[in-house]
Amino acid sequence: MGRLILTSKGLSWFRKGHPWIFRNDLERNPDAVPGSIVSLETKNGKFLAQGFYSAQSKIAFRLISRTKEAIDANYWKKSIHKAFQYRQAVVAQTNAYRLVFGESDGIPSLIIDRYADHFVMQTLTRGTENLISVITEILLELFHPQSIILRNDLSVRELEGLPPEKRIIVGECPQKVEVFEGEIRYQAGLWNGQKTGAYLDQRENRLLASRFLHGGILDAFCYHGLFGLHAARNASRVIGIDSSPEAIEQANENALLNALTNMEFRRENVFDFLKAEEEAGHLYDGIILDPPAFAKSKENVADATRGYKELNLRAIRLLKPGGTLVTSSCSYNLSESKFLEILRECEKDLGCTLRIMERRGQSADHPVLLSFPESFYLKCLFLQKI
């Protein structure tokens, strides 16, 4: 087994509990096989932990265990079983959820999403890339899936020197898998959809938001229309906006699937749409803003801040008094306090008062580790304009 030696600075970082060790916190270039499981040690040779070694990325070590226990197929089976038990406890009202969320489940850089009996796997580093066949066997044994797809078409893999890859590992996967979420049904495109087919991280927010949404609703950045579908069950009218034609097509199909006739989806840029609605003098009782991550890196936080501000400002202007804004940011690089500050600025600029009804994050199947801030990325606020 390869060994990584921590510098003194690295040691105090590790002791705080973060599951990653950066390359510049290692004493010297380690003699270890990329993707292998290595032991992390102090300068005096004291064992600290076992984890995956990455040779290319700035993140050199990803924590698996603080003990010397054997990390073998049986270990991974226990980890996945534990992850499943946790989902059984926290996931409700759906058959589509995240079964494994990387570090948060003690399996760094592995994602497994489940859509009914179809599973989608993503391995983000060489460490988990090496485990594909082991994990496949475990999924077969525990869940008897109809299919398992590998969706490794993610750019983060480039940091590890891994190529994009998409393939079916087990069974045959239909183009679309129908799943349910509360009272609605939707089709997830596991092969071609965004993420692994759906934005599972917003599920609980979608389920709850519908309670606050009545009257005329705007679902901005609607993707397959899921926020809007929930809202349409109570609201009088829902309009969904997305720039992707594929998203609009699927959103329309989902409306049909649920026999909802009070919905309309339009392919448009949200910024342009909001401007046009303001010019037309249209107002809404509820607005959902769920944009893609504007702050993809620390470098573009300033630009992203301007983007979030403009978007929220325009949306709040279109809200009737008493109306509800469900606003999200999935940029890890923009903290919750920064997001709140942006909204406070909007309030000030518009001379209105916003009341927080709900202050939320990602769904419970995407659990956050207290000492791993990177695992908390989605912020979602339900605000009332009073």
DSSP-assigned beta bridge partners for residue 115: 96, 118
Q: What angle do CA 363, 365, 370 make, to 5 degrees?
A: 85
Near ligand SAH by CB under 6 A, which window of 95-103, 126-134, 167-175, 216-224?
216-224
Does 91 bind ligand SAH (CB under 6 A)? Our answer is no
Q: Give residues 173-202 in contact with ligand SAH (rule: CB under 6 A).
A: 199, 202
Does 212 bind ligand SAH (CB under 6 A)? Our answer is no
Q: Which residue, among 377, 384, 360, 366, has the nearest Cα to 205 in the 3D structure?
A: 360
Q: 330 catalytic, yes or no?
A: yes
48 vs 288 by CB, closer to ligand SAH: 288
Near ligand SAH by CB under 6 A, which window of 36-44, 107-115, 236-244, 373-381?
236-244
Give the number of residues in contact with ligand SAH, rule: CB under 6 A: 20
285 φ/ψ angles, rounded to the nearest 5 degrees = -85, -25
Q: Which residue, among 308, 122, 323, 330, has the nearest Cα to 223 in the 3D structure?
A: 330
Closest CB 149 distance from ligand SAH, rounded Å: 19
d(CA 84, CA 96): 13
DSSP-assigned beta bridge partners for residue 354: 385
Closest CB 182 distance from ligand SAH, rounded Å: 13
Near ligand SAH by CB under 6 A, which window of 26-34, 35-43, 224-232, 347-355?
224-232
Closest CB 261 distance from ligand SAH, rounded Å: 21
Which of 173, 222, 330, 380 is labelled catalytic? 330
136 vs 244 by CB, closer to ligand SAH: 244
Which 3 state secondary structure label does DSSP give 382? strand
d(CA 381, CA 343): 10
Per the document, the length of the chain is 386
- The binding track of 259-278 with respect to ligand SAH, each residue x by CB under 6 A or -, is ----------xxx-------
Distances (CA, A) of 5 to 9, 42, 106, 291, 371: 11, 6, 22, 42, 22
Q: How many CA atoms within 13 Å lie on the side-chain side of 82?
A: 12
Q: Which amino acid is at 347?
A: E
Which of 247, 255, 315, 381: binder of ligand SAH (CB under 6 A)? 247
Give contact residues for ligand SAH (rule: CB under 6 A). Answer: 199, 202, 206, 221-224, 226-227, 241-244, 247, 269-271, 290-292
Active site residues: 330
